[in-house]
Amino acid sequence: MTDKKLIGVDLGGTTTKFGILTPQGEVQQRWSIETDILEDGSHIIPNIIDSIQHHLKLYDMPADQFAGIGMGSPGSVDLAAGTVSGAFNLNWEGTVYPKRDIEAATNIPFYIDNDANVAAMGERWQGAGDNDPNVTFVTLGTGVGGGIIADGRLLHGVAGSAGELGHITVQPGGYLCTCGKRGCLEQYASATGVVHIARDMAEEYAGDAKLKFMLDDGEDITSKIVFNLAKEGDPLALKVVDKVSFYLGLALANVGNMLNPKYIVIGGGVSAAGDFLLERVQRNFEENTFPNVRQTTSLRLATLGNEAGIVGAASLVLADHAQTEE
Ligand SMILES: [Zn+2]
């Protein structure tokens, strides 16, 4: 293992976060910049380079103090080439070359993977994953993403789509997904999915429920409102949460049946509902898992929050070191 420091970069559509970490995973410094997506996102990479160079200069840290820079990016990432394509929320329409450009400017080795995989690596290393070699991560935000670490390796598949847990079919012929397919988990367990389910169930719901009144009044609701109402005992909100938990529990049970990880870690904004959600998902998970998986695979809530991105990105540097030393 290296004794040099690591730089982790979490590139998002609105902010880019940076961290300097020890090889043991302790975040020593952190800072962030706004992500400037104007002019086809052409400023993004130059701004990242400027920010790293400015920071290293300010703290008098030469490039050779660092084992590498790791970055998590939206879009499709070609690991070997170090390129990104199809990152539409960054306004990157063609292929972008972060590895080539950042290595040339900083003289520090650069590693990249997609943001969900990177968050999975972060939770596995310093979060709820206890650094176990078998951890699956699912993130429930505006969409549903995921990452799989199996036998100590991040899985990518032939075209980088391993771990796309958001597109597991949980309801054949169900809600239409942005991917073009129907019935994807993302349409039922993301923040927008929760609201979609709430609207549909409210239409058919005949009883008294605050959630129904709010929807009938045309009020804007969010998944957070649905979960808070359910916690207060609102009968419709409870039905919605039960439905979300069924779909999520079913999908995670099948992930468990296939991979038998030590932990399936649940993160992202929707997971802020905490144990209230976890207990309900757990019941559906147990009902649909193979006995040996039920006894050995645990569901857990993520613990790193926003920091998973920079921590996981930094860990890409170590993963590469481990592989080249084999
Ligand atoms: Zn889909």
Q: What is the pLDDT of residue 102?
A: 98
Ligand 1 centre from 317 Cα, in Å?
31
Label residue 320 by pLDDT band (50, 70, 90): confident
Distance 126 CA to ligand 1 centre (A): 30
Separation CA 196–CA 181 (nearest Å): 17
**3-state DSSP: the chain helix, strand, coil percent, rounded to 5?**
45, 20, 30
Distance 223 CA to ligand 1 centre (A): 19
pLDDT tens sequence across 46-62: 999 999 999 999 999 99
Going from the Cα of 180 to the center of ligand 1, the distance in angstroms, rounded, reads 6
Residue 230 Cα to ligand 1 middle (Å): 27
Distances (CA, A) of 85 to 17, 74, 320: 20, 9, 22
155 CA → ligand 1 middle, Å: 19
Question: How sure is the predictor about 88, in pLDDT bands with cuts at 50, 70 and 90?
Answer: confident
The environment of the single-atom ion ligand 1, i.e. residues with CB closer than 5 A, is: 167, 177, 179, 181, 184
> 176 alpha carbon to ligand 1 midpoint, in Å?
8
Q: What's the 146 CA to ligand 1 centre distance in angstroms?
A: 13
pLDDT, tens only, 218-245:
999 999 999 999 999 999 999 999 999 9
Q: How confident is the model at residue 322 (pLDDT cuts 50, 70, 90)?
A: low
Higher-confidence residue: 34 or 160?
A: 34
Q: How far is the CA of 300 from the centre of ligand 1 (A)?
A: 24
Distance from the CA of 186 to the center of ligand 1, in angstroms? 6
CA of 51 to the centre of ligand 1 (A): 36
Among residues 265, 240, 245, 242, the alpha carbon closest in space to that of 255 is found at 265
pLDDT of residue 1: 66
| CA 3 / ligand 1 centre spacing (Å) | 42
For residue 326, pLDDT over 60 is answered with no
Do the bridges between strand 5-11 and strand 76-78 make them parallel or antiparallel, or are there none, so unpaired? unpaired
* Pick from 9-13, 84-88, 121-125, 210-214: least confident: 84-88
Distance 140 CA to ligand 1 centre (A): 14
DSSP secondary structure, 25-69, as one string = --EEEEEEEE---HHHHTTHHHHHHHHHHHHHHHTT--GGGEEEE
| Per-residue pLDDT at 306 exceeds 90 | no
Residue 143 Cα to ligand 1 middle (Å): 10
Fill in the amino acid letter for 259.
Answer: L
The model's pLDDT over 188-217, given as tens digits with 9 standing for 90+, comes to 999 999 999 999 999 999 999 999 999 999
Give me 47's structure tokens.
């701004």
323: pLDDT confidence band, cut at 50, 70 and 90?
Answer: low
Residue 325 has pLDDT above 60, yes or no: no
What is the predicted pLDDT for the residue at 152?
Answer: 94
Ligand 1 center to 175 CA (angstroms): 9
Q: 141 CA to middle of ligand 1, Å?
A: 14
Average pLDDT, the chain: 95
78 Cα: distance to centroid of ligand 1 (angstroms): 21
Total-model pTM: 0.93
**What are 74-84's pLDDT values in tens digits?**
988 998 899 99
